[in-house]
Amino acid sequence: MIKYSKQRQAIKDQLANRGDHPTAETLYSELKASMPNLSIATVYRNLKQLEGMGEVLTIITDGATRYDYNVKPHAHFFCSRCGAVLDIDTDKGEIVKIGQSSFTGSIDGCEVKFYGLCPDCMAKSRA
């Protein structure tokens, strides 16, 4: 068992209170003011530990690794304009059933990614 860490708890709290999927650098920048002794290496190490404990998900995007506090099965939306990564609540079980209906092997799960323009970019393009 990993012992309690004030830094890890702060990182976890910072992730829990947001809907986006920040990078380690973003979390570090936001926490640095309240934790002056925090290092970027500490942020990375604690994110890796949280991932290993099943408390955060890692999302690899074009050139950036982002972190998600929502570990329940869900899909992600990637904005092709601003790069935002947002959650989409989906029933992955239904998606697996669709895939399994035309596949003779065994499907254990899936990763679903949607692409397009996020609501903010859509609103800006209409303005």
- Full DSSP string of 13-52: HHHHT-SS--BHHHHHHHHHTT-TT--HHHHHHHHHHHHH
Q: Tell me the CA distances in angstroms from 117 to 30, 61, 84, 125, 127, one per residue in order.
A: 26, 16, 9, 10, 14
Angstrom distance (rounded) from CA 116 to CA 17: 25
**Partners of 114 in beta bridges:** 77
44 or 84, greater pLDDT: 44
* Model pLDDT for residues 56-111, shown as the tens digit of each residue: 999 988 778 999 999 888 899 999 999 889 999 888 888 888 999 999 999 988 88
* pLDDT score for 61: 84
In the predicted model, is pLDDT for residue 18 greater than 90? no
Mean pLDDT computed over every residue of the chain: 91
Average pLDDT, stretch 16-20?
Answer: 85
